[in-house]
Structure formats: structure tokens, C-alpha cells
Amino acid sequence: MENPVADPTDRAAELYNQAIETSGPEAERLAQEALAIFLAHCGEDHPDTANVLTGLANMAAAGSRPAEAENHAARAVRIWRNIHHLIEDPETARVIGVEALSVHGAALRELGRYADAEVPLKEAHGLQPDTRTANDLGVLYKFWGKFDEAERCYQFALAAPGSDDPAMLATLYHNIGGLAHSRGRFAGTSHGGRESSPEPANDGASA
């Protein structure tokens, strides 16, 4: 009996899994190869296409290429908006949206487009009101100079789901300290601080 023809999307999934387990140019090469297969066999408006684009956005962000990250993430968000109501599992649809919106907002923040960044970051927080999304908003508001809003986000994050994660908690306290320093700097002291975002599960991003 002949073996059935292998599904090309299985190969694409394998390539993407390899990509998220490595880093640097090789990871991006593997992800681009996976993306090409998904586009050829699933089309643009497909969850797997959106996921790989989000991954590529995270990789570009980790490589300090925010404009490229923004392009990939904006495309992932557009796909998600087109298909989220068609995805059978609401949780899957939500996660795809949160990841795409979060990396899009972070890339816009890195580009200094704070008002634009607020839109996807607020939407991500509305879909998933947890420590990570609240911290992302807090980082944005700190860079934007909206210190009261930043403090409210960080205080929410301290009590939100996910705050028991040691790495996330360390990030939060670092950011709260950075906010205090920035307030002092703007009040006339010499102190300054820089906020950070926790690394995503598979590919890092920082602010």
C-alpha cells in the first residue's frame, strides 16, 4: 500500500516549530519558509499564516528592527480581524488576537508612535486583562510621559492573573522602580529608568 501524500502544511508547522526553538537569521529563514508554504496552501487569511507573521514580528523586534516588526504584526492583525469569527475555538481566536495585537503595539511604541500603539495594546488588554497586557500598557504610558496611567496599569498588573510568575513579577517591580525614577527625573532629579517587557514564550522582545 502506498504511503499517502504528505500534507505540505505539516512540513510548514515543523519548520515553524524549529524556528521558534532557535534564534537569529536561521530562525527567521525557517519561519519565512514556513510562511511561504502556508501562503501557498492555506492562503493569506488563515490562522497559521497569522501565527507565523506574529512570530516573524517578534523576531524582527528582537533584532531591533521595529519597522519590520510593525509590518509583520500589522499584517497578522489584519488577518485576525478578517477570520477571528470563523475560528471554531474561541480561545484559539482570542490567543491569536492577543499575540498579534501585543507585538503590533510594542513595535509602534518602539517607533515612537505612542497614540497608535495605545489602540492595539488596549484591545489586547481587553481580550486578556492579565499581568502581561497591563504591563505592556504601563510601559507605553511611561515612555509617553503619562505617569499616572502607567502607575495604574502596573498596580493592576500586580493583582492580575499571571502576577505569581517570578519573572513577570521581577519585570513589574523593575518597571515600577523605573517609573519612580522617571518621575524624579522630570521633577528635576538626575535619576532615570528604562521599562522592560517580559519575553514572549518563544521569541523575545524588550522595551
Question: What secondary structure letter does DSSP report for 104?
Answer: H
Answer yes or no: is pLDDT of 190 > 50.
Answer: no
Provide the pLDDT confidence category of residue 163 given band limits of 50, 70 and 90.
Answer: confident
- Higher-confidence residue of 185 and 115: namely 115
Mean pLDDT over 157-171 rounds to 92
pLDDT, residue 202, reads 35
Residue 146's CB is within 10 A of a number of other CB atoms, namely 17
Confidence bin at 85 (pLDDT 50/70/90): very high
Q: Which CATH number fits domain 1-127: 3.40.50.1100, 3.30.830.10, 1.25.40.10, 3.20.20.70?
A: 1.25.40.10
What pLDDT score does 4 carry?
55
pLDDT of residue 184: 80
> What's the DSSP call for residue 194?
-
Q: Give me the residue spans of the domains in the chain.
A: 1-127, 129-207
Ranking 39-43, 82-86, 198-202 by mean pLDDT, the lowest is 198-202
pTM of structure: 0.86
More confident: 191 or 132: 132
Mean pLDDT along residues 176-203: 60
pLDDT digits (tens, 9 = 90+) for 19-62: 999 999 999 999 999 999 999 999 999 999 999 999 999 999 99
Measured from the Cβ of residue 175, the count of other Cβ atoms closer than 10 Å reads: 25
Asked whether the beta carbons of 32 and 19 are under 8 A apart, the reply is no
Exposed/middle/buried for 189, CB within 10 Å: 0-12, 13-18, 19+?
exposed
